[in-house]
Each structure stands twice: as structure tokens, then as C-alpha cells.
Chains A and B, each alone.
Chain A
């Protein structure tokens, strides 16, 4: 009998939610690290009971926690994130240059093959890697050579928030950085190139077609088709069919193409999900109706999914790391809101049910399918 485990990071702790394959009844454990912000937690694909969590606090800084029993118990591991050499400067709001300064880890991406290897996305933007289960971390500094001097934080901070690993080409990694764009390495992180051609940011950048500086909110990939990426940008939903060499807009009939998360169906590489938000000025759903939008055509043609979601007076947001899909059939889709709800669909989005309604604001949702 299969089991599904949701890993939920919130403003005030982490929670682990488990269900059987029917995904109707859920057991909830937590909060773990109560009172701390848990930007992200994720399990190792190679060893599912090995979990990693980013625990941070405006008062007490950054901690990394590791579990070897699926989240029942945790131990603090290494949290020394030091930029390699002299990290130089990046652009500041007033146009001056400001030194890189570590603030927190936004995202943890365990290796597809090795439970002791994990990538960590940092603010100020950098990529770190551990090969010893989180005890020590080293930066991959080549990323900053991809025009890092021109990166500039947005209001939400200059965080590296998405890390995509390619199972067919282990030396290839994509990362996305808030207010910098998408970057790709084809040599395991030594050298990187911006891959933002086709992105247009007319109201965010003086040069709408700039090579870097685009506010990419999230990118997603289906493992069977690693050259195809989908993107939710500050405005616009886009796709690339050539590993980022060129992007084209696929916003189509969305009621708004502003949003944060984007994800891909586990078994249908052209079925994608977004949660439109009214605008960058009003971070809540259009018409105060919470609707996930699904495209079965890889973009452009979208259908609203509202069954079970609040359709009046709804002013929550869904953050970039707060949507996930399981690999059961039918595919389960999950997302968490800034209002503390976690919604689940056991039928690819046709119908939704709240698993919980009153968590702290949800920062991240990951799901593990345990067979």
C-alpha cells in the first residue's frame, strides 16, 4: 500500500502530514522547530526517510536540520555558509554596489542519487553544496560570474529559490534567482550562463530584454523531458523547449499571468498548474476566488479548477515553493496558502479538499510518494 508524506514549511515551524494512497485522511505531526521560519524542507529521492530542513530566524540566523527517520526526529547539522573567496558586490537599490551578505537558505534540493549530497539556494543569491549529509557546505562560486554584479534584489530579497536537477545529465543544473533570472550549468556547477532569452520585463527593467535581472518566480521540469521548462515569472507564464536557450510566453487565457508557483503533472509532461494572483500590487486571487489553473497543452489553453476551493472573499496567496505533485495515479496535487490552508487534490486538480485550515502562513509544500 502506498503512502504519501507532505512536508510543510511555515512561518512558525514545520509539519509532516501523512496519508495512505487514497489521500482522504491525514495524520499531522508537528510543529517541529516551533517558532522558527521553515523556508523549505525536502526528502532525498535516493533515501526517502532522509529529510533536510532550512530553519531560520531574524533573531538567531540559519540552522539546517536533518532527519533520518522521515521526520520523527531531527538533528542540527552544519550551517556554515561562507561565500568562496571575495564574493564581490551586486547592485543595490540606489545603483551602488553592495557586498554579498548571507541571510538565509531559501531552498534545499537533495541529489537524485546520493542522500548525503544536497544543494542549497541562498539569499544573497548563491548555490551551496554538501556532500557529507549537511555537515559542511561549499559554495559553487562560478554562478556569480554569470553577471552577478548586475543582479539586484527585489523587495523580497535576492534569493536563489529554485534548483532543478536533470537525471539524464547529472552535470546539468538549472537555478532561478529572484530578480536575476535563470542560470544553467553543464559542467556540474563550475561555469554558468544566463538562459533568459525571450523573457520580457517592460515594467521591471529599463531594457525589457536584458540578459539578467528578470524576476523569475519559479521554474518547473518534468523528469522525462528535461529540456522543457515552464516558468512563472513576475508577470507572464513561459516555456522553453531547448533548455532555456529561448523562452516563449504561454499565458494564453489566464485571468492574470502574475503568480508564484508552477508545477508539472507527474505523468503528463504537458499538464501544468499555476495559481494566478491579481497583480504585483494585489497579491490575492482575481475576484477573490481561489482557482488553480491547469493547462493540458503545455500552456496557452488554461482551465480553472475551483471545485472545493473558496470562491468568495478569499485573499490568500500561494508562494513559489508551496505547490507539489505526488506520483500516484491519479496524480495528487497539493498547495499551501499564506492563510495557513493546505489543499489536496487526489484527482489531478478536478476536486480539492483542505487537509488543514489553520496552519501558520505556508512557505513551502513538498510531497513524497512512498511505495
Chain B
């Protein structure tokens, strides 16, 4: 089971509290996790990645296992602790600065 932590605004939009847990088939990649997330919560389509190009939105980041995975290719496998559910996959709204 993949554990996903969403930022505040996306939790409210999806009407969820706490972590989201999803079953994702192997190989577990950035793209397959986001596909599964959007399939479960269609309202999140377009909020994390562009609807058409599927590119990550500029001010969204992906963290896991204390690493920034934002610039990984979409088909790159996620770290084992994320795949096993030991660690969550974090979707982050980037700092605004200031």
C-alpha cells in the first residue's frame, strides 16, 4: 500500500483527512502513483501536474525518504520504503518565499 501525504489545500479539495492510501501495481513510479491518485480523486486532476502535458506544476514538489524526487523522470521507480509503505510519498506545495 502506498501512503501519500497531500498538502492542506488538496486534502480539502479531495475531502480527505490524513494520509491517502492507494494500491498501486508494480513497478511503482511517480507516474503510476499520480495516475492512481487522480483515478481515486478526479478533483485532483490538474492540481499536481498539467492535465495535458502531465508535467509537474512548477510550485509542486515530491519528497520521500528525505529526498527531493521532483526532478525524477515520471517513469523512475520510487524508493523501496515508499513501495512497501514504510515511508510516505509527500506532495508538497513549494515555499512561496518572502
In the bound assembly, the distance between CA atoms of A62 and B43 in angstroms comes to 11
Given contacts A36-B9, A76-B13, A80-B51, contact A60 B93 (CB under 8 A): yes
Cβ contacts under 8 Å, A61 to chain B:
46-47, 57
Tell me, yes or no, whether A203 is within 8 Å of chain B by CB.
no
From 1 to 32 in chain B, residues with beta carbon under 8 angstroms from any chain A beta carbon are 7-10, 13
Interface contact A76-B43, CB-CB below 8 Å: yes
Chain A: which residue is nearest B59 at the CB level?
A59
Which of A59, A61, A76 has most B Cβ within 10 Å? A59
Interfacial chain B residues near A62, Cβ < 8 Å: 46
Cα distance, A76 to B93, chains bound together (Å): 20
Most chain-B Cβ atoms within 10 A of its Cβ — which of A58, A60, A62, A63? A60
Give Cα A35 to B45, complex, Å.
19
Instruction: Tell me whether B9 and A60 are in contact (CB under 8 A).
Output: yes
B64 within 8 A of A: no
Contacts of B7 in A (CB 8 A): 59
Tell me the minimal C-beta distance from A62 to chain B in angstroms. Answer: 7
Q: Which of A55-110 contact B (CB under 8 A)?
A: 57-63, 76, 79-80, 82
Beta-carbon contact of B46 and A80 below 8 Å: yes
CB pair A60–B51 under 8 Å, yes or no, is no
Q: Which of A57, A80, A82 contacts B9 (CB 8 A)?
A: A57
**Cβ contacts under 8 Å, A58 to chain B:** 59
B32-51: CB near A (< 8 Å → 1, else 0) gives 00000000000101111001
Decide if B94 is an interface residue (CB 8 Å cutoff): yes
B52 engages A59 (CB within 8 Å): no
Q: Which residues of A line the B interface, CB within 8 A?
A: 35-36, 57-63, 76, 79-80, 82
B residues apposed to A, CB below 8 Å:
7-10, 13, 43, 45-48, 51-52, 57, 59-60, 93-94
User: What are 11 sample pairs from A and B whose C-beta atoms fall under 8 A apart?
Assistant: A35-B8, A36-B9, A59-B9, A59-B57, A59-B94, A60-B48, A60-B57, A63-B13, A76-B13, A79-B45, A82-B51
Give me the 5 closest cross-chain CB pairs, A-B, nearest first: A60-B47, A59-B59, A59-B93, A76-B43, A61-B46
